[in-house]
Amino acid sequence: MEVKVLNKEGKATTKKVKLNDRIFAVDPNDHAIYLDVKQYLANQRQGTHQARERGEIIGSTRKIKKQKGTGTARAGSIKNPLFRGGGRVFGPRPKVYGFKLNKKLKVLARKSALSYKAKEENIIALEELSFKSPKTKDFVSILSNLKVEGDKTLFVTSENDKNTFLSSRNLSNTKVITADMLNTYDILHSTKLIISEKAFTQIEKQFKA
């Protein structure tokens, strides 16, 4: 499968990019995609939630009433979880939600996601994206020229360009990443996948096609 390379004006150039079948035309594995996305989202969680248990509450340890003869339940401390301001029973504690996945499985998941995009014809090849200075207006004009201004777009570039990133930062439906940061979640979360001409070569090296 070949894709025409477009310029910033949205016009087709004389160049074409051939999509490698071992990356963009594999038999998708939905379970591998599920696991890779699950790991990505789990790694985004800080896991810093914590509630104070009765041993961590600051307060008096005096027995608040006598053991028997009150007609009510026994109570030995104001920090009892049954009282207002007391410690919480089995409250949340700091936790690491991330988990490990086999590298081959993660590669398969990303190939599967790219294959879905290629099958849906939602991959656009673009000449190398660069800006002389950060200007959101110029980035919006590129989206308009490519006719993707209403879509969720993921731009994949060959190298980290600060001006390109800053130009797209204020656009809620647009994200710019480098080829080495490509992941399953971002691929599937976007409607249109816009890859620079040089980034295709990096993707092939990354997935060892």
Could you tell me if 86 and 172 lie in one domain?
no
Q: Virtual CA dihedral for 170, 111, 198, 150, nearest 10 degrees?
A: -30
CATH number at residue 6: 3.40.1370.10
Could you tell me if 112 and 195 lie in one domain?
yes
Mean pLDDT of all residues belonging to the chain: 92
Residue from 153, 203, 186, 173 nearest 36 by CA: 186
Could you tell me if 146 and 62 lie in one domain?
no
**pLDDT the model gives residue 209:** 53
pLDDT at residue 167 tops 60: yes
Provide the domain limits for residue 58: 51-91
Could you tell me if 124 and 200 lie in one domain?
yes
pLDDT in tens, 146-162: 999 889 999 999 888 89
Could you tell me if 81 and 109 lie in one domain?
no
Could you tell me if 130 and 200 lie in one domain?
yes
Could you tell me if 57 and 71 lie in one domain?
yes
Cα four-point dihedral sign 185, 186, 192, 194: negative
Percent of the chain scoring above 70 in pLDDT: 100
Tally the domains of the chain: 2
CA distance 26 to 118: 10
Could you tell me if 85 and 162 lie in one domain?
no
DSSP 167-185: HHTT-TTEEEEEGGG--HH
**pLDDT the model gives residue 181:** 92
pLDDT in tens, 115-151: 999 999 999 999 888 888 899 999 999 999 999 988 9
Q: Per-residue pLDDT averaged across 68-88, rounded?
A: 92
> Is the overall model pTM greater than 0.85, yes or no?
no
DSSP the chain: -EEEEE-TTS-EEEEEEEPPHHHHSS---HHHHHHHHHHHHHHH---------GGG--S--S--S-SSSSSS-----TT-TTSTT-PPTT------------HHHHHHHHHHHHHHHHHTT-EEEEPPP--SS--HHHHHHHHHHTT-TTS-EEEEESS--HHHHHHHTT-TTEEEEEGGG--HHHHHH-SEEEEEHHHHHHHHHHTT-
pLDDT band (50, 70, 90) for residue 84? very high
Domain boundary among 32, 61, 91: 91
Could you tell me if 76 and 140 lie in one domain?
no
Could you tell me if 115 and 193 lie in one domain?
yes
